[in-house]
Amino acid sequence: MSGLVEEVRADLTEALTTALEASRQSGAIRVEVAPEISVEVPREKDNGDFATNLAMLLAKPARIAPRKAAEILLQNLNLTGTWVERVEIAGPGFINFYLDPAWVIQALPRIISQGPDYGRVDLGKGRKVQVEFVSANPTGLLHMGNARGAALGDSIASILNFAGYDVSREFYVNDAGNQIENFGLSLEARYLQLLGRNVQVPEEGYHGEDVVETIRGFVALQGDKYLEADPGERRSTLVKYALSEKLEAIKRVLEEFGVTYDVWFSEQSLYESGAVHDTLDYLKEQGCIYVHEDAQWFKATEFGVEKDEVVVRSNGIPTYFASDIAYHRNKYQRGFEWVIDVWGADHHGHVPRMKGAVAALGYDPSTLDVVIMQLVRLYKGGEIVRMSKRAGQFVTLEELVEEVGRDAARYNFVMRSPDSHLDFDLDLARAETNENPVYYIQYAHARICSILRQNSEQGEDMPDPTEVNLSLLKEEYELALARKLADFPGEVASAANGLAPQRIARYLHELAGLLHSFYNSHRVITDDQELSSARLVLVNATRITLNNALGLLGITTPERM
């Protein structure tokens, strides 16, 4: 499946290829190798609907002036059967193609017939991709950074799915290691406190109020049963209880945020299955591990990384890196051809060594993509809200959804490139005003629904696009809107290639803008039956496209506002 724009591009590329071939045959253009032909959409409408820089690329190797090369190409260019009305040589040597304005109208019947599938492209060809995101410690609540990761990861996964990949969403549960030990000590302290003992939560422990809540729940169930128990057993019981409770809470909140996972993968299971051990053995066999000061080190420097990294501490306990290597090995063993991790900027130092480890395991490190998102700065009342996990003082994802709503929150996270340091203004996100772009987009959808409602209330059916005279759509706004609709499949492809959901957000904003402009200058339902039918097809195609694009970002499409 591909879009109208891509088809025209392909037709023009083919015609240019033939023309270049003919020009070389006749000796008018002498080049060793034909340059790659690219047909672009010019930014300025005055420069045509499509354009190519081919003549400029030929100029140097063929030793002729670019405009001369363009002339020769044009003499050999056969454009019969295309929508091209005229061709011009412009500027330093661009060849500009001007199409019959009606060409974009062809997109409309396709959109209506493809419906929820409009915009799908087959970039992925069914290849298996895994997107791992959020993967927060299951020891607490989700915060703003996790929220950004959730919105980003989920949208990337949806976009890749729409682009023809077989996508799996995964949450890596860090239920092993140091922080779990630490968590156990904090839980134990709170447990004992609640039962009247005078103990302190460790300095480096978890001081959040949510931990106290968890223990209250535990005490309600188990009472003082573990007061005199063996501390080791007591902690492991508390940890087990708390982890499952926390994990359920995380699951629930993410679902409210519109995010569901295919797989919840336990770090602990990598230890239990022996995968960590096996992976370290494998790396030893490959000669990638050495011992230094009683610790085992991974030779990351052999893979172009600045320094080596400890995988097993001198006390014999593997590091997080060790289980992470085992985890990534497991991903590849499960048959994923492309592995995508969404991490916070505080983990970016981990990227090169993880790629090094993937290479050491015998996989191509370029099949691992790590999307690094910069941290979120939260504003409220014009001031920065300092978030401190230790003190248990931060805005949770749950509060965010409650306060600003899922749609506004998700849009705000996804409208910016992951690279940008995001300033999240709580008041702005919550504001139901024109300062908030989500509503601008949703409003476009609601407006169309209102028109369609009106139409059916008048007892009229939705016109069949194949029986409507779409050539009545001649107004500038009508054609601009249809042109934008035709762009959608290409936008999906770009967003997928660049792992860039912000492209979809931007596209939506532009599309909504064109709908609003059209709406304000033309009526859809008029006395002119034929024209009304054509415009109904246009707005219905817009509704479908808005719906599909918003779906990729996990944003709802209200029919009334």
Partner RNA sequence: GUCCCAGUAGCUCAGCUGGAUAGAGCAACGGACUUCUAAUCCGUAGGUCGGGGGUUCGAAUCCCUCCUGGGACGCCA
The nearest distance, CB 352 to RNA, in angstroms, is: 8
Point out which residues pair with 129 in neighbouring strands.
167, 338
Terminal alpha carbon distance of the chain: 34
Burial of 231 (0-12, 13-18, 19+ CB in 10 A): exposed
Instruction: Give the total of residues touching RNA (CB under 7 A).
Output: 90
For 148, which DSSP code?
H
Point out which residues pair with 370 in neighbouring strands.
341
- Among 155, 214, 502, 540, which residue interacts with RNA (rule: CB under 7 A)? 502
Contact call for residue 500 and RNA (CB under 7 A): yes
User: CB-wise, 198 or 458, nearer to RNA?
Assistant: 458
User: Which tokens in the block code for residue 225?
Assistant: 């049963």
Contact call for residue 203 and RNA (CB under 7 A): no
Residue tagged 């480096």 (tokens) = 204
- Among 285, 381, 520, 527, which residue interacts with RNA (rule: CB under 7 A)? 520
User: CB-wise, 253 or 524, nearer to RNA?
Assistant: 524
Number of neighbouring beta carbons within 10 Å of residue 219: 16
- Burial state string for 377-407 with b = 16 or more CB within 10 A and e = fewer than 16: ebeeeeeeeebeeeeeebbbbbebbeebbbb
Contact call for residue 292 and RNA (CB under 7 A): yes
Contact call for residue 517 and RNA (CB under 7 A): yes
3-state secondary structure of 84: strand
Kindly report the length of the chain: 561
Kind plus residue range of the DSSP H or E element containing 39: strand 39-40
User: CB-wise, 87 or 192, nearer to RNA?
Assistant: 87
- Looking only at the bridges linking them, the beta strands covering 39-40 and 263-266 are unpaired
Window contacting RNA (CB under 7 A); options: 78-86, 151-159, 221-229, 518-526: 518-526
Residue 179 sits at φ, ψ, to 5 deg, of: -70, -20
Report the alpha-carbon distance of residue 495 to residue 337 in Å, rounded. 19
Which residues inside 404-443 make contact with RNA, applying CB under 7 A? 415-417, 419-423, 432-435, 437, 439-440, 443
- Among 8, 12, 39, 57, which residue interacts with RNA (rule: CB under 7 A)? 57
Report the alpha-carbon distance of residue 16 to residue 244 in Å, rounded. 62
Number of neighbouring beta carbons within 10 Å of residue 132: 25
Q: What is the DSSP string of 282-314?
A: HHHHTT-EEEETTEEEE-GGGGT-SS-EEEE-T
The nearest distance, CB 21 to RNA, in angstroms, is: 21
Contact call for residue 498 and RNA (CB under 7 A): yes
User: CB-wise, 340 or 422, nearer to RNA?
Assistant: 422
User: CB-wise, 392 or 437, nearer to RNA?
Assistant: 437
Report the alpha-carbon distance of residue 269 to residue 241 in Å, rounded. 17
Contact call for residue 137 and RNA (CB under 7 A): yes
Which residues inside 24-43 make contact with RNA, applying CB under 7 A? 40-43
Contact present, 541 and 485 (Cβ < 8 Å): yes
Which residues inside 91-110 make contact with RNA, applying CB under 7 A? 91-94, 96
Contact call for residue 348 and RNA (CB under 7 A): yes
- Among 18, 78, 314, 469, which residue interacts with RNA (rule: CB under 7 A)? 314
Which residues inside 317-336 make contact with RNA, applying CB under 7 A? 319-321
Residue tagged 């809540």 (tokens) = 213
Contact call for residue 67 and RNA (CB under 7 A): no
Window contacting RNA (CB under 7 A); options: 103-111, 114-122, 252-260, 494-502: 494-502
Contact call for residue 1 and RNA (CB under 7 A): no
3-state secondary structure of 393: strand
Contact call for residue 519 and RNA (CB under 7 A): yes
- Among 100, 122, 233, 294, which residue interacts with RNA (rule: CB under 7 A)? 294
The nearest distance, CB 307 to RNA, in angstroms, is: 7
CB within 8 Å of 182: residues ≥ 6 apart: 202, 204, 205, 206
The nearest distance, CB 197 to RNA, in angstroms, is: 27
- Among 28, 34, 74, 90, which residue interacts with RNA (rule: CB under 7 A)? 90
Report the alpha-carbon distance of residue 260 to residue 516 in Å, rounded. 33
Which residues inside 432-491 make contact with RNA, applying CB under 7 A? 432-435, 437, 439-440, 443, 446-447, 449-451, 454
The nearest distance, CB 281 to RNA, in angstroms, is: 19
The nearest distance, CB 179 to RNA, in angstroms, is: 5
The nearest distance, CB 4 to RNA, in angstroms, is: 15
